[in-house]
Amino acid sequence: MKVFYITGTSSGLGFALAEELLKDEENHVVGMSRTCEIAHPNYVHRKVDLSDAVATAKVRFGDHFKADKVYLINNAGSLGEIGYHGQLDGTEMADAYQLNLVAPAVLINNFLNAYSEKDAEKIILNISSGASVAPYPGWGMYCATKAGLNMLTEVVKEEAEINGIKEFSIQAIAPGIVESPMQEKIRSTPKDKFDMVDRFIEMKETGMLQTPEETAKMLVEHMKTSDFESPFVDLRSLIESK
Ligand SMILES: NC(=O)c1ccc[n+]([C@@H]2O[C@H](COP(=O)([O-])OP(=O)(O)OC[C@H]3O[C@@H](n4cnc5c(N)ncnc54)[C@H](OP(=O)(O)O)[C@@H]3O)[C@@H](O)[C@H]2O)c1
């Protein structure tokens, strides 16, 4: 049995990934988001607001100790308010940092606390972005939190080696540009808040976006074949190189 804890399973990539995994009856998915869109015998939903620090800290793992493989996929994420520093709302900023970076860190901590001594193979995937390695003016919270997620991945990887955690892998993955509510939000941003908006409208018009379904298939294939050696990978270049 394989168990996948996935955040953000109500739309976009997280939804498609859960649906793809649930096609295999060996897989069990525990989804976490504020709303639930999946009904399946192997799916359990935990309703949680990951921009709430206290609610996030209460998320516990460990109800699947008989699994051969346990995955934590930190997928839930938001662009936060798009706009330039000096013009942003501080509360919205704090919520975006909490959701994109603090929540994954706390969930990794709680996941390792539950599973690090167990025999099951343990795999953590942090859904990062190309914006973690390139600045996009107007996406300050997004770029900073995704860059932080990459570094968190590297630190936890080294800590696991020091602590001798067996059968453990962790990797940050940039999934490519995926059509989802997040991309709709980007395209509808006024140019005075996001100077690069035309580029994203053009990418949609010229058919350059991946669907969530094809991205989920690529991710599942990657999970089956990867040795997770590299702490950061871009899913597009991985697939192109095969
Ligand atoms: N789309 C892209 O082009 C793209 C590119 C690179 C990286 N990514 C990354 O891929 C991941 C998925 O993106 P997506 O495009 O699929 O996004 P999406 O369609 O907007 O979905 C976001 C998911 O996160 C959940 N979520 C948002 N706020 C939450 C909260 N406060 N508490 C709990 N869950 C919350 C949402 O569920 P609820 O609203 O029900 O809570 C939803 O299920 C993100 O980490 C994103 O940064 C996306």
| CATH number of the domain encompassing residue 121 | 3.40.50.720
Show Cβ contacts of residue 117 under 8 Å, excluding neighbours closer than 6 positions: none
pLDDT-based confidence at residue 241 (cuts at 50, 70, 90): low
Domain count, the chain: 1
pLDDT-based confidence at residue 63 (cuts at 50, 70, 90): confident
Average pLDDT of the residues in 66-86: 96
Q: Does ligand 1 lie within 6 Å of residue 221's CB atom?
A: no
Residue 156 domain flag: yes
Distance 85 CA to ligand 1 centre (A): 22
Residue 115 domain flag: yes
User: What is the residue with the minimal CA distance to atom 34 of ligand 1?
Assistant: 33
**pLDDT above 70: residue 183:** yes
Q: Does ligand 1 lie within 6 Å of residue 49's CB atom?
A: yes
Residue 83 domain flag: yes
β-strands 2-7, 27-33: how paired?
Answer: parallel
Residue 197 domain flag: no
Residue 71 domain flag: yes
Report the share of the chain in percent with pLDDT over 70. Answer: 98
User: What is the residue with the minimal CA distance to atom 47 of ligand 1?
Assistant: 77
Can you give the residue range of the structural domain that contains 130? 2-178+211-235
**pLDDT above 80: residue 64:** no
Q: Which residues are catalytic?
A: 142
Residue 199 domain flag: no
- Evaluate whether 127 touches 106 at the Cβ level (below 8 Å): no
Residue 66 domain flag: yes
Residue 26 domain flag: yes
How crowded is residue 118: how many other Cβ atoms within 10 Å of its Cβ?
Answer: 16
